[in-house]
Amino acid sequence: MAARKVVPGTGVGLAAGEIEEMTDASTRAFSSRGDAPLALPKRPFSFGRWFAATGWRHIVGVVMVVFSLFPIVFVVSSSLNPNGTLTGSNALFSKIGLDSYVRILSDPQVPFSTWFANTMIIAGTTAVCTVFLGALAAYSFSRMRFTGRRFGLISIVVVQMFPQLLAVVAIFLLMSTIGDLFPAIGLNTHLGLIMVYLGGALGVNTYLMYGFFNTVPASIDEAAKIDGAGHARIFFTIILRLVAPILAVVALLSFIASVNEFVVASVLLIDTDKQTLAVGLTKLVSNPRYADWSAFSAGAVMSALPVVALFLFLQKYIVGGLTAGAVK
Amino acid sequence: MSIATEDVREDEPPTPTKQTKQQRRAAGIAEQASGGIKMLLVKLLALGLVDALALYAVFVLALHEQWAVLVIVAAVTALVNWIYFSRRKLPAKYLTPGVIFLVVFQVFVLLYTGYIAFTNYGTGHNGSKEQAVSSLMASSLERVEDSPAYGVTVVERAGELGLLVTDPEGDALVGTNEEPLTEASGAEFDGDVAVSADGWNTLQFADVLERTDEVTALAVPASDDPNDGAIRTPDGSTGYLYVSTLEYDEAAGTMTDLTTGTVYSDTGVGAFTADGGEQLLPGWQITVGFDNFVRAVTDTRLAGPLLYVTAWTFAFALISVASTFFLGLFLAIVFNDMRMRGRKIYRVLMILPYAIPSFLSALVWAGMMNESFGFINQVLLGGASIPWLTDPLLAKVSILIVNLWLGFPYMFLVCMGALQSIPDDIQEAAKVDGAKPWAIFRLIKLPLLLVTVAPLLIASFAFNFNNFNTIYMLTDGGPRDSNAPIPVGFTDILITMVYKVAFTGQTRDYGLASAYSIIIFIVVAVISIIAFRRTKSLEELN
């Protein structure tokens, strides 16, 4: 929330993963080299002591892993179930087949692949533009001193307290008016939705980047300036390369946020084949009793996979970013 | 890390205001010399594109006579050009693109919400009074018994259909749904009937057939006075005069139903109202002052839902933050022991709920919690029929459980990071002084942890206060409260109520929905002011 919080928070968070890895490695190395031969013969394995020290922690871990995973196991199992209904999905892994995947990809009533493409296009474009707009603003806040700078920073913090979905009625009316004049960017267009999402670009993301930009020493800029580089060259060729990790984090967080966004997307996108996954899949199972549950599960698994993969891939950086910015 | 930041601050160049004129000019020249021809080309290209789009927008706006918007678009474009061609205004060059989007799609829409909250905007109150009059007249058109047959040709201009009418005197007139009939210039006749006119394309017979629905829906007003009726054509070749069963008296501002003789007058409620309170809809949009707010808190059927929805919103946000935080903290402590093996695997498996898009998780949970077919009742509880999502109280518990599932990994990660950043020597010092583990945790670790985590808890509260997805995907706010006149349920939070009042159900009430939005706005503002005061985080900004 605060500048001080963000700067060390980001750093600490990013470093924390590494520190943890190092300590992990060192303790392991230590115990295998030093401790094991010395300690083991003297102190025979005692279940009680092991349980008091770390054993109970494993019980907590197993309980929590079961709690975390059982909905995921359920949805994977029902996506492999060729039967359609919710009841049929209850016997986990009783039947295995890819019928549901085929069904949801080929059903003309449910344009899943179109929804998927729409979501990727909208979320991807929003993520790239958010990073660009946010980085521009963060650079000026971090490197330049101008009147209204403090006011600008405070507004960014304050505005992020009021999410766009509060104004969904006004957004709908604004976009339908724009659509009457310029159909290409009005209601029921992807471009219009992306533009609305970009209204939130200068928010928490800029704030995160601002903190990270501050950790890049200004002497680098000055050296480049002395060598004859202009502000644009410094920004595009030097600074942006140095802050690449935070750009990745912001892009991913923005991507996930757009994939998850339902309110504005459901109001602005009217035609079925313009809609995103969040809107389409929600309407698909609005009545779970009659819906083709296993086809939905197949769709859910396919929709979640890219996001989960990206998340786990960038996990180390995200943890740092989250500590700093509190998103989701 | 913070020390490094201080260094950066001190190294900052002095503020530009302190530079002399020569220095500034020198800086400008250096800046230009360094840019390179490629950069300049890109800049010119981008600006040219912006200007071209703006020019197009200005033309379209002029065509629709939107003068105020036109002036704003022109002014903003001029400002953008000035900023990017000026040698100074460096910060503005970096801030302008983001700020434009921020102002239009975040600041403006919030202000606009404030305006809508003071209007009766919604189903039946969508446009201006003129639109309401013409739409009422159009919807009550009836063919005049002895109407002469008019020769009619269907014509088109810029995609809009119109009728080229030849009246019994042999004059050619042309008009559309919006424009009353006027003398057609340069009309050519085929026999008695005009078949083409300047500025209009004549539709071929095949096109008329293809667009039959549009053609038969055409009602071209005979004159500016709506009481004169309109020309309609059932087949695209012959037209008849239709007059409305309603008569509009512009001077008195009344509508008279000619069949029943009822007089409807404009009583200031945004619709023509008869003495008995009966309204002709559609009406029109008016500002109603604080009506929506007064209605929300004094109408007993609305005040009840507003009260329990607000209470549940607070309870939901607070309990969600507390439960996820304590579970996350507990897990962080449990897994913060270096001796434990396999901590990484546990960690990855436990953050999976956080990695999955939350709308999907909520939908899956909704399926699992289904009363008669769901996994939890059927398999885990061996065929029980617990109404997880349909009982008012139990649905709230279910939502909290699901939100705990969705949110604990985040708190776990945050607490883990915060715990690891607490230096070990503090703990060792306390141990040497004879402190027990519980005392170390309660008196040393927890306060230090809260310093880092407190702003995140506030942010998490603000997020959950508007956590639309969890509620909407899981219960859709249900079970529905059948006493309320608006589609509201027992697990609705404020933001889902706004959505439902505005966009679901038979009638959409944008005014009331915006009034609810303003209430959320005020609540969030008060909370953030208190939070910012307490944490002094805004003062630290520099």
Within-domain flag for B290 = no
Q: Which amino acid is at A43?
A: R
- Does A304 contact B121 at a Cβ distance shorter than 8 Å? no
- Name the minimum distance, in Å, from the CA of A248 to any CA of chain B: 16
Specify if A149 maps to a domain. yes
Show which of B252, B280, B308 is a domain's final residue: B280
Residue A224 lies in a domain: yes
CATH of the domain at B489: 1.10.3720.10
Chain B CB contacts of A69 under 8 Å are: 349, 352
Listed residues B249, B280, B311: the one ending a domain: B280
The whole-angstrom distance between A19's CA and the closest CA on chain B is: 9
- The residue range of the domain holding B188 is 129-280
The CA distance from B444 to B172, in Å, is 92
**A132 pLDDT higher than 50:** yes
Can you tell me which residue has the tokens 């001077």?
B251
Mean pLDDT of A149-153: 88
Measure in Å the smallest separation between the Cα of A142 and chain B Cα atoms.
9
Q: Could you tell me if the ipTM is greater than 0.90?
A: no
B319 and B267 housed in the same domain: no
Write down the pTM of the prediction. Answer: 0.80
Q: Is A253 part of a structural domain of the chain? A: yes
The beta-carbon neighbor of A169 closest among B12, B93, B513 is B513
Say whether B342 and A58 touch across the interface (CB within 8 A): yes
Pairing of strands B172-176, B182-183: antiparallel
Residue B107 belongs to some domain of the structure = yes
pLDDT in tens, A283-316: 888 876 677 888 899 999 999 999 999 888 887 7
Min Cα–Cα distance to chain A from B38, Å: 11
- A269 located within any domain: yes
Q: Does B506 fall in a domain?
A: yes
Tell me the residue length of chain B: 542
| Angle of the A112-143 helix axis to the A99-106 helix axis, nearest 10 | 80
A61, B455: Cβ pair inside 8 Å? no
DSSP B355-368: HS-HHHHHHHHHHH
Does a structural domain hold residue B372? yes
Helix, strand or coil, per DSSP, at residue B480: strand
Close Cβ partners of A267 (under 8 Å, ≥ 6 residues apart): A168, A171, A172, B503
Cβ-Cβ contacts under 8 Å, B525 against chain A: 161-162
User: What is the percent of chain A where pLDDT is above 90?
Assistant: 33
Instruction: Return the SS3 of A262.
Output: coil
Q: Which residue has the higher pLDDT, A121 or B29?
A: A121
Torsion (CA) B464, B470, B475, B481 in degrees, nearest 10:
30
Please, which residues bridge with residue B202 across strands? B155
Supply the pLDDT for residue B27.
Answer: 67
First vs last C-alpha separation in chain A: 15
How many pairs of residues across A and B have Cβ atoms under 8 Å apart?
Answer: 357
**pLDDT tens track, chain B, 542 positions:** 333 333 334 344 444 455 677 777 776 666 666 567 777 888 899 999 999 999 999 999 998 888 999 999 999 999 999 998 887 778 888 999 999 999 999 889 999 999 999 988 887 787 777 777 777 777 777 777 777 788 888 888 877 888 888 887 778 888 888 788 888 888 888 877 888 888 888 888 888 888 888 888 788 888 877 777 888 888 878 888 888 777 777 777 777 877 777 788 777 777 788 777 777 777 788 888 888 898 888 888 888 899 999 999 999 999 999 999 999 999 998 888 878 888 888 988 998 999 999 999 999 999 899 888 888 888 888 888 889 898 999 999 999 999 999 999 999 988 988 888 888 888 889 889 988 888 888 888 888 888 878 878 888 888 899 999 999 999 988 788 888 888 889 999 999 999 999 988 778 889 999 999 998 888 888 887 887 777 666 556 65
Q: Is A9 left (phi over 0), alpha (psi -120 to 50) or beta?
A: alpha
Query: What's the confidence (pLDDT) of residue B74?
Result: 94
For residue B14, being part of any structural domain is answered with no
Q: Which residue of B has its CA nearest to A27?
A: B338
What DSSP assignment string belongs to A157-206? HHHTTS-GGGGHHHHHHHHHHHHHH-GGGSTT-HHHHHHHHHTTSTTHHH
Quick check: is A47 in a domain? no
Task: Report yes or no on A1 lying in a domain.
Answer: no
B361 and B448 part of one domain? yes
Cα within 13 Å of Cα(B342), Cβ side: 13
Asked if B426 and B342 count as a contact pair (C-beta separation under 8 A), the reply is no
Three-state SS at B193: strand
Q: How far apart are CA B439 and CA B420, in angstroms?
A: 18
Smallest CA–CA distance, residue A325 to chain B, in Å, is: 7
Say yes or no for a CB contact (<8 Å) between B110 and A167: yes
Listed as own residue / partner, the contacts of A304-310 with beta carbons closer than 8 Å and 24 or more positions apart are: A304/B356, A304/B357, A304/B360, A306/A120, A307/A255, A307/A256, A307/A259, A307/B355, A307/B356, A307/B357, A308/B352, A308/B355, A308/B356, A310/A252, A310/A255
Tell me how far CA of residue A236 lies from CA of A135, A232, B341, in angstroms. Answer: 10, 6, 45
Closest-approach residue (CA) in chain B for A61: B346
Shortest CB distance from B8 goes to which of A87, A214, A311?
A214
- CB–CB of B11 and A230 under 8 A? no
Same domain? B95 vs B172: no
Region of residue A188 (phi > 0: left; psi between -120 and 50: alpha; otherwise: beta): left
Asked if B450 and B474 sit in the same domain, the reply is yes
Contact B33 A228 (CB under 8 A): yes
Q: How far apart are CA A91 and CA A77, in angstroms?
A: 9
Alpha-carbon distances, residue B114 vs A166, A186, A265, B108 (angstroms): 11, 22, 22, 10
> Does some domain include residue A17?
no
Q: Would you call B410 and A233 a contact, using CB atoms and an 8 Å cutoff?
A: no
**CB B102 to CB A65 under 8 A?**
no
Structural contact between residues B456 and A327, judged by C-beta atoms closer than 8 angstroms: no
Peptide bond into B479 cis (omega under 30): yes
Touching check for A5 and chain B: CB below 8 Å?
yes
Report DSSP state, residue B487.
Answer: S
Would you state the pLDDT for residue A34? 43
Identity of the amino acid at B262: T
B214 CA: distance to closest CA in chain A (Å): 19
- The phi and psi torsions of A103 (rounded to 5 degrees) equal -65, -50
> Of B4, B370, B535, which has the smallest distance from its Cβ to A215's Cβ?
B4
Pairwise CB contact (< 8 Å): B5 & A215: yes
Best mutation target among A169, A197, A236 (most B Cβ atoms within 10 Å) is A169
- In this complex, the residue of B2, B33, B524 whose CB is nearest that of residue A162 is B524
Q: For residue B519, what is the nearest residue in chain A, using CA coordinates?
A: A166
B230-232/B238-244 β-pairing:
antiparallel
Phi then psi for residue B189, to 5 deg, are -110, 145
Count of structural domains, chain B = 3
What's B202-244 look like in SS3?
A: ECCHHHHHHCHHHHHHCCEECCCCHHHCEEECCCCCEEEEEEE
Q: Which of B341, B449, B145, B11 is nearest to A54 (CA)?
A: B341
Residues in chain A closer than 8 A to B110 (CB atoms): 162, 166-167, 170
Q: Which domain holds residue A175?
A: 111-325
A87-91, A168-172, A250-254, B492-496: segment of lowest average pLDDT = A87-91
CA dist B498 and B508 (Å) reads 11
Q: What is the mean pLDDT of residues A209-231?
A: 87
Nearest-CB residue to B106 (from A199, A289, A322): A199
Query: Across the interface, do B405 and A67 touch by the CB < 8 Å criterion?
Result: yes
In this structure, what token pair is assigned to residue B213? Answer: 């629905």
Tokens 């470093």 belong to A15
Return d(Cα A254, Cα A260) in angstroms, integer: 10
Distances from the Cα of B205 to the Cαs of A152, B150, B208, in angstroms?
Answer: 62, 18, 5
Query: Can you tell me whether residue B173 is helix, strand or coil?
Result: strand
Tokens of B288: 């109603």
Residues near A213 by Cβ (< 8 Å), separated by ≥ 6? A138, A139, A141, A142, A143, A239, A243
Is B77 in the same domain as B98?
yes
Instruction: Give the DSSP letter string of A70-96.
Output: HHHHHHHHHHH--S-STGGGSSTTSS-
Query: Which tokens is B246 given?
Result: 């309603």
The verdict on a CB contact (< 8 Å) between A285 and B363 is yes
A230 touches B at CB < 8 Å: yes
DSSP E strands: which ranges in chain A? none
The CATH number of the domain holding residue A121 is: 1.10.3720.10
Distance from B326 to chain A by nearest Cα, in Å?
14
Number of Cβ within a 10 Å radius of residue B93: 18
**B-chain residues near A181 (CB < 8 A):** 60-61, 64, 66
Please check whether residue B514 lies inside any domain of the structure: yes
Please name the residues between 77 and 116 in chain A that touch chain B, using a CB distance below 8 Å.
85-87, 89-92
Find residue B243's DSSP bridge partners: B142
Burial class (CB in 10 A: 0-12, 13-18, 19+), B496: buried
**Helices and strands, counts by H and E, chain A:** 18, 0
| Pair B165, B106 in one domain | no
Q: How far is CA A234 from CA A219, A231, B85, B196, in A?
A: 12, 5, 19, 64
Helix (H) or strand (E) holding B515: helix B510-535
What chain B residue is nearest to A22 in terms of C-alpha separation? B338
d(C-alpha B120, C-alpha B290), whole Å:
10
Which residues of chain A from 6 to 25 reach within 8 Å of chain B, CB to CB? 7-9, 11-13, 16, 19-20, 23-24
Other CB atoms closer than 10 Å to residue B419's CB: what's the count? 19
Are residues B274 and B171 both part of a single domain? yes
| Cβ–Cβ contact A167 with B under 8 A | yes
Q: Contacts of residue A137 in chain B, CB cutoff 8 Å?
A: 94-95, 98-99
pLDDT > 50? residue A9: no
**Given an 8 Å threshold on Cβ–Cβ distance, is B460 in contact with A326?**
yes
Residues of chain A in contact with residue B10, where contact means CB-CB under 8 angstroms, are none
Q: Chain B: give the shortest CA distance to residue A150, in Å.
A: 6
Q: Are residues B357 and A307, on separate chains, in Cβ contact within 8 Å?
A: yes
Neighbours of B67 (CB within 10 A): 10
| pLDDT value of residue B248 | 79
Task: Report CB contact under 8 Å: B1, A315.
Answer: no
Residues of A in contact with B372 (CB under 8 A): 289
Question: Does residue A87 lie within any of the structural domains?
Answer: no
Scored b (16 or more CB within 10 A) or e, A236-248 reads: eebbeeebebbbb
Q: Among partner residues B33, B61, B468, which is closest to A165 by beta-carbon distance? A: B468
Q: What is the pLDDT of residue B231?
A: 84
Number of domains comprising chain A: 1
CA dihedral A151→A153→A158→A164, nearest 10 degrees, is 120
Among B83, B116, B149, identify where a domain stops: B116
* Separation between Cα atoms, residue B349 and residue B346, nearest integer Å: 5
Q: Does residue B316 lie within any of the structural domains?
A: yes
Please answer yes or no on whether B537 and A7 come within 8 Å at the CB atom.
no
- Find residues 137-166 of chain A whose CB sits inside 8 Å of chain B: 137, 139-140, 143-146, 149-150, 152-154, 157-159, 161-166
d(CA B367, CA A293): 8
Nearest CB to B105: which of A11, A165, A198?
A198
Contact between B69 and B43 (Cβ < 8 Å): no
